[in-house]
Amino acid sequence: MSVRVVLADDQPLIRSGLRVLIDATEDLRVVGEAATGAEAVRLVREQEPDVVVMDIRMPVMDGIEATRHITAGTGPARVLMLTTFDDDEYVYSALRAGASGFLVKDMALDDILGAIRVVAAGDALIAPSVTRRLIGHFAAGAPAPAPSPARSRMDDAITEREREVLTLVGRGRSNAEIAEELHISPATAKAHVARLFTKLDARDRVHLVIIAYEMGLVAPGP
């Protein structure tokens, strides 16, 4: 069965290019195009796609607000944001809104298709070339998280080792990198991350990055 995709971007040339790229595959299919966030929300209700490729900056309703509406619904759609380096200021808000990943508009075409497949499979993805830069920028640009009972409960729910793993996830480390840094096996690192998903009720790895920041485990960086 094909992965159903909605394209949301106010630039017709970008939508057209992505459609040609996606429709040339056997496992991906474009089921709708939107030029505004509001149109994207409507199309998701009508078409029930698996993935929405969403531009951040759009008229009427921007991509962040549209993402918030889509992820609050009961449908299967997961949102993959289109971004440029100039959009760094929006990254934290988009993550909080429920985006499952980010694409850079000038990524290699195969990487864009791969990212759509990754998100459709239920994983989270931030383009490797921008992962740590984006995390550093949204942390630096967002206000410092204030202490809260919710944060204290999350902190109490995890072990010291899980706290170390969560900190490294928050810094953009892969499971293999976590394993190497903590001198544990990749399987053990993966198990720790899986337990963090359960204990912290995180929807995906991007959500863990947000939690790490909000718990004060990730310091703002340049």
Domain assignment of residue 143, yes or no: no
Q: Which residues of the chain have pLDDT under 70?
A: 85-89, 92, 123-152, 219-222
pLDDT of residue 133: 54
The domain containing residue 185 runs over which residues?
149-215
Alpha carbon distances (Å) from 59 to 6, 102, 112 = 17, 20, 24
pLDDT of residue 85: 55
Domain assignment of residue 101, yes or no: yes
pLDDT of residue 125: 65
Backbone Cα Rg of the chain: 17
pLDDT of residue 121: 80
pLDDT of residue 95: 75
User: Which residue in this structure is represented by tokens 């900056």?
Assistant: 57
pLDDT of residue 126: 62
* Percent of the chain predicted with pLDDT > 70: 81
- Picking from 103, 137, 171, the residue at the C-terminal end of a domain is 137
